[in-house]
Amino acid sequence: MAVSRFLIGGVASALLLTGGVFLWEGYSQIAADEVLPQPPPALPAIPVAGSSAPKRGAAPPALPAAKAESREERRFNRYDRDRNERISRVEMMSTRTAAFRKLDKDGNNLLSFEEWAAATSDRFAGADADRSGDLTRVEFATTAPKRAAKPKCSC
């Protein structure tokens, strides 16, 4: 029983292989019969004026100005420090380094809960102007990070 299945499989494989060869030969015969298009005729050479030729006509138009970067392109370029068109985790987190160093009071590159809690508590106390222990909407708005002033021109 196993031998007959093996033989049937072998015969089927041989038939498929033979059919594939015939199809391949047929396609290659069609490709050989096709006529390849002729290349276009060569263009005549353009005459070039000598150095003593008189200069005529207006100056060529100025090149267009470079495209201004969009806001997202500027933001992306700010993070892409090595200019490889990709932002790595290190590049992304590098902007957070200064803030982390301010929180890391003992300078061991580890932020303990105490260091974080002290900074958060100081920030809360600074925002709680009426010393009520709660932040009103106006007081809470003062905890938002300060935005850098935008330059008046983009020169």
pLDDT digits (tens, 9 = 90+) for 90-134: 877 777 777 788 888 888 888 888 888 888 888 888 888 888 888
Distance of CA 10 to the CA centre of its chain: 52
**What DSSP letter does each residue of 8-45 carry, written as one string?**
HHHHHHHHHHHHHHHHHHHHHHHHHHSPPPPPPPPPPP
Give tens-digit pLDDT for 52-79: 776 777 777 777 776 777 888 888 888 7
